[in-house]
Amino acid sequence: MSDDKRKGDKPIPDDVKNYLNDAQIAELHTIEGFGWELKFIRRPLFQERLVVVVNPDGSSIGVLEDDGRLNLDPNIETRE
């Protein structure tokens, strides 16, 4: 039995720009220049979405906050 809670949702939706605001899009473009990439967007029902990015070697994760800041000390749990 799988403990996957996505129920068929992709970790990164096809319409990703519908989930990010202008500040987050701008910061994502900036950090992509340094090799960071979007890892997933948590989209829980009735809760705030969470935009998670990962550094080039996968050793560090961050959260793109609503104001566009990159939070490198997020208080989140991941399976990996």
The answer as to whether 50 is a domain residue is: yes
Task: Please give the tally of structural domains in the chain.
Answer: 1
The answer as to whether 10 is a domain residue is: no
* Average pLDDT, integer, range 44-54: 89
* Average pLDDT, integer, range 26-48: 92
Burial letters 46-60, b for 16+ CB under 10 A, else e: eeeeebbbbbeeeee
Domain with 43 in it: 16-71
Whose CA is closest to 55, among 39, 78, 66, 41? Answer: 39
The answer as to whether 36 is a domain residue is: yes
pLDDT of residue 1: 41
The answer as to whether 63 is a domain residue is: yes
The answer as to whether 28 is a domain residue is: yes
The answer as to whether 7 is a domain residue is: no
Could you tell me if 5 and 40 are in contact, meaning their C-beta atoms sit under 8 angstroms apart? no
Average pLDDT, the chain: 86
pTM for this prediction: 0.80
